Amino acid sequence: MPENSQLFEVLKWFVAGGGAGIVGYWLMENVPQLKGLAAEYKRYASVALSAVLAMVAYSAAVALGYQANPGDLQGWMEVLFAAASVAVGLSQVIHGRRKLR
Digitized pLDDT (tens) for each residue of the chain, 101 residues in all: 565 789 999 999 999 888 998 898 889 889 999 989 998 898 889 899 999 999 999 999 999 999 999 999 999 999 999 999 988 888 878 777 766 66
> What's the pLDDT score for residue 88?
87
Q: Is 11 inside a domain boundary? A: yes
Helices (runs of H) and strands (runs of E) counted in the chain? 5, 0
> What's the pLDDT score for residue 56?
97
Q: Is 2 inside a domain boundary? A: no
Q: Is 1 inside a domain boundary? A: no
Q: Is 80 inside a domain boundary? A: yes
> What's the pLDDT score for residue 3?
59
Length of the chain measured in residues: 101
* Max Cα–Cα distance, the chain, nearest Å: 44
> What's the pLDDT score for residue 99?
65
Q: Is 73 inside a domain boundary? A: yes
CB count in 10 Å sphere of residue 63: 10
Domain that holds residue 76: 7-99
> What's the pLDDT score for residue 58?
97
- Using CA atoms, how far apart are residues 1 and 75, in angstroms rounded to an integer? 20
DSSP label at residue 5 = -
